[in-house]
Copies of this chain bind each other. A is one copy, B any other.
Amino acid sequence: MTDVDVIVVGAGLAGLSAARRLTAAGRTVRVLEARDRVAGRNHGGFLSDGTPVELGGQWIGPDQSAALDLVAELGLETFPSYDDGDAITFVDGRAVRYADETFGLDEVSLAEVGRLWVAIETLAAGVDPAEPWAADGAADLDRHNVDTWVSANTDNALARGFFRIIVPAVFSAETAELSFLHFLAYIRSGTSLAMLLTTRTGAQDSRVVGGTHLISERMAAELGESVVLGAVVRTITQDDGGVTVAYENADGTPGGAVTADEVIVAIPPTLAGRIRYLPALPSARDGLTQQIPAGSVIKVQVGYDRPFWREDGLSGFVISLDDAFNVVLDNSPQDASCGVLVGFLEGAHARAAERLSPAERRALVLGALVKYFGPEAATPFDYVEMDWCAEEFSRGCYGGRLGCGVWTQYGHALAAPVGRIHWAGAETASRWNGYMDGAIRSGRRAAEEILARSQ
């Protein structure tokens, strides 16, 4: 049985960042990854012409310093997301083309959205994402979901509709599915609602040349044989002497076991809760992982010979309150050697679309793109889907969300070590929770916990 200082479960950004930090401090590590690849929710794909397309997390914002610095350190480069030209909002059967910050809303609805927006930002300013349960009025904020809060605060149908589309765009979950306190904490952890929703200068500002999966691949290359692929962790046993992590192969055949002084579990909470822990975890930690379901998203990349929408002065950015495939952006390569539209079936739309056949789903997506961009959208040269809910080793994206009552009653257990077990992953981050940047920070934080202990 292999013995190392620290075992890391999961070779996504969190786990690899932890392993990298520990290795730099001279610790021996073993990273156990269930998949036959690293990078977790940052899987990289290619269109048939070789154009790289990010099948998972893809954007980095200007104040995501952990991600930006890591990209630079690893010798990677970023390039700006394309966002020149007009956006379009579809609502009530109409197309509204706009070039400002209005989201295409009429004046009355825009004012109402603005009023709610300010109220939300004001409340978010009072929530420390490291301890949302300590905010003034936390218990009351945690009784509301986003839908009931918005509905209680406006009768404007379009304003409600606006939040019912931007919340799935950020959380891949419906407004009713997350606590209003979680919404506030998440906003605050990502600076502001404006920051989360903005392309250039916001959280969707730039992309990594070649794809974000390269960040994980380069870290894994540094770690070499410390990273074990195809190791599905099933049981973590701890006692006074140390910790043993037992795994099997992806096909269920027997794997092996590694022993160490400490372990970092760097996988999404809903998966962390499926591991068997001996002794069993405290109730609060188990109750927590029962209540952080992953979001639902099918991400679709559609490749065209050229970004033809740019010729019409369109940025490619579309939101539609009328359609299922309702958030679209230009995801063409930097040199525009072809045109790529990326779009999302999120939350309820993802769950419904999973019940369609692939052909029906493709027809749904291309039908929406034709509506948005005209008949040329009907004939892509490639169409690539990624259904994150169907992935056994993600079971949803973008990340886990907390429903009503969870932050205030269980939040204390989110990142607190249990004996020799430490928790990492984007969901545990207090800065940029749910983002690649947060994942990196969480891995480093878990590594620092261990280094501080053994000093």
Measured CB to CB, the residues of A under 8 A from B are 142-145, 147-148, 151-152, 174-177, 232, 234-235, 237, 246, 251-252, 270, 273-274, 276, 278, 280, 282-284, 286-287, 290-291, 293-294, 296, 348, 351-352, 354-355, 387, 389-390, 392, 395-396, 403-405, 409-410
Contact = CB atoms under 8 A, between A and B. Distances in A.
Contact of A351 (B280, B287, B396, B403): B287
A351 B409 contact: yes
A401 to B, nearest CB: 10
A339 B291 CA distance: 39
23 contacts: A143-B148, A144-B176, A145-B148, A148-B148, A152-B152, A174-B404, A232-B276, A234-B276, A235-B252, A270-B290, A274-B274, A274-B276, A283-B354, A284-B355, A287-B389, A287-B395, A287-B396, A290-B293, A290-B294, A290-B395, A291-B293, A351-B410, A352-B409
3 smallest beta-carbon distances between A and B, as pairs: A283-B389, A290-B293, A148-B148
A251 to B, nearest CB: 7
Nearest to A291: B293
B403 A284 contact: no
A75 to B, nearest CB: 36
A145 B351 CA distance: 21
Contact of A177 (B286, B390, B396, B404): B404
Contact of A174 (B145, B273, B405): B405
Given A176-B404, A405-B174, A405-B176, A252 B278 contact: yes
A144 B148 CA distance: 6
Contacts of A355: 284
Q: Interface residues of A: mostly helix, strand, loop or mixed?
A: mixed
Contacts of A151: 143
B177 A405 contact: yes
B286 A145 contact: no
A387 B246 CA distance: 29
Nearest to A412: B355
Given A251-B278, A287-B293, 5 more contacts: A177-B404, A234-B276, A280-B392, A287-B389, A291-B293
Contact of A283 (B286, B290, B387, B404): B387
A142 B176 contact: yes
Nearest to A350: B283
A412 to B, nearest CB: 9
Contacts of A282: 354, 390
Contacts of A145: 143, 145, 148, 404
A389 B282 CA distance: 9
Contacts of A252: 235, 237, 246, 276, 278
Contact of A404 (B147, B246, B273, B409): B147
A180 B286 CA distance: 25
A51 B176 CA distance: 47
A204 B311 CA distance: 71
A390 B145 CA distance: 28
Contacts of A237: 252
